[in-house]
Copies of this chain bind each other. A is one copy, B any other.
């Protein structure tokens, strides 16, 4: 059996999972649940295996990636695994000098500000990320019928780190380039689209059953700017993986005004943060897409009864959707009680069992 057909067999095992069915807007036995950042600091077993290992290094060790990716599946019984990585991994892999600083985030040694700087962004080859292929091979063998979601950062969000040199609240240099030198901007996000597409293709070829493109900070943009300066690059990424037929999820924070455009860019599933009720989100996204979301992650700090009430509100708002993947409206916060997450998975499964 060729490697390709082996991985296709892996996807076949997951094909009828509640998660993939919901993404395809097919009937489901229960509403599937997974959590952004489910593999991470909320879990003591994660903190233990990460001890002394820097973030970027942990993304490059296949056994560790496999273990971390599996931890929340074992503990919470979520309906999908998400590949443990970081959005800057493909940039590091092509030689960009960057690091992830604890408590800060990605920090880029030499920010990209000029046309000459673009030369540092060469195309990504599968051989640049052998650890990704290897980890996903191990994961699909372990996961069986549980689907694995591939993971990448979208061109705008990657560009913002490269231009600002690190996390930002205002994206002033990013927007200054976008408004002030739109041709340089287009060339930058176009290169990033190719890198991102290649990174996702590696994951799908290795066996991922779906992909999620994180445009974490796109919500900083007005809709007209998103449409003009960002959407074409995101669309290029989605187009580049369309041939595989795996569901493509798209998510960003504070993207209430962008939901329709993020779907239009080519997403099959649009992730919604907690600010927009799902019954309003579906009006903005329109028919033919599933939605993912959207419990406020801070609700998990409240007593059990309050969590259940707020979960019921999300499920009620989702009642009319063609397809619904339950998730938080943003990543799990590091201080979240893992038991609250496990209870939440059980609760959603019980309340939605058909």
Binding site for B on A (CB under 8 A): 170-173, 175-176, 179-180, 219, 221-225, 254, 256-257, 274-277, 280, 296-299, 301-303, 306, 310, 313, 333, 335
Closest chain-B Cβ to A108's Cβ sits at a distance in Å of 19
| CB contact under 8 A between A179 and B254, given known A172-B301, A333-B170, A335-B172 | no
A306–B175 CA distance with the chains assembled, in angstroms: 11
Q: Enumerate chain B residues within 8 angstroms of A219, measured Cβ to Cβ.
A: 254, 275
Checking B171, B223, B302 against A176 with a beta-carbon cut-off of 8 angstroms, the contacting residue is B302
Q: Quick one: which of A179, A296, A299 has the most chain B CB within 10 A?
A: A179
Closest chain-B Cβ to A190's Cβ sits at a distance in Å of 20
- The answer on a CB contact under 8 Å between A298 and B172 is yes
Q: Which residue of the partner chain B has the closest CB to A174? A: B298
Closest chain-B Cβ to A34's Cβ sits at a distance in Å of 20
Checking B171, B176, B180, B257 against A276 with a beta-carbon cut-off of 8 angstroms, the contacting residue is B257
Q: Which residue of the partner chain B has the closest CB to A298? A: B175
Checking B221, B254, B274, B306 against A180 with a beta-carbon cut-off of 8 angstroms, the contacting residue is B306
Q: Enumerate chain B residues within 8 angstroms of A280, measured Cβ to Cβ.
A: 257
- The answer on a CB contact under 8 Å between A306 and B179 is yes
Checking B170, B171, B175, B254 against A302 with a beta-carbon cut-off of 8 angstroms, the contacting residue is B175
Q: Quick one: which of A170, A219, A276, A335 has the most chain B CB within 10 A?
A: A170
Q: Enumerate chain B residues within 8 angstroms of A223, measured Cβ to Cβ.
A: 275, 277
- The answer on a CB contact under 8 Å between A176 and B301 is yes
- The answer on a CB contact under 8 Å between B224 and A180 is no
A179–B313 CA distance with the chains assembled, in angstroms: 14
Q: Enumerate chain B residues within 8 angstroms of A313, measured Cβ to Cβ.
A: 224
| CB contact under 8 A between A298 and B176, given known A222-B275, A275-B254 | yes
Q: Enumerate chain B residues within 8 angstroms of A306, measured Cβ to Cβ.
A: 179-180
A119–B254 CA distance with the chains assembled, in angstroms: 36
Closest chain-B Cβ to A351's Cβ sits at a distance in Å of 18
A298–B179 CA distance with the chains assembled, in angstroms: 9
- The answer on a CB contact under 8 Å between B302 and A179 is yes
Q: Enumerate chain B residues within 8 angstroms of A176, measured Cβ to Cβ.
A: 298, 301-302
A275–B225 CA distance with the chains assembled, in angstroms: 10
Q: Which residue of the partner chain B has the closest CB to A275? A: B257
- The answer on a CB contact under 8 Å between B333 and A224 is no
Closest chain-B Cβ to A112's Cβ sits at a distance in Å of 16
- The answer on a CB contact under 8 Å between B256 and A180 is no
Q: Which residue of the partner chain B has the closest CB to A224? A: B313
Q: Enumerate chain B residues within 8 angstroms of A296, measured Cβ to Cβ.
A: 175, 222, 225
CB-defined A-B contacts under 8 Å, sample of 24:
A170-B297, A170-B298, A170-B333, A172-B298, A172-B333, A172-B335, A175-B296, A175-B299, A175-B301, A175-B302, A176-B302, A179-B302, A179-B303, A179-B310, A180-B301, A180-B302, A219-B254, A223-B275, A224-B313, A225-B296, A256-B256, A256-B257, A256-B275, A257-B275
| CB contact under 8 A between A222 and B175, given known A180-B301, A180-B303 | no
Q: Enumerate chain B residues within 8 angstroms of A276, measured Cβ to Cβ.
A: 257
Checking B171, B254, B303, B310 against A254 with a beta-carbon cut-off of 8 angstroms, the contacting residue is B254
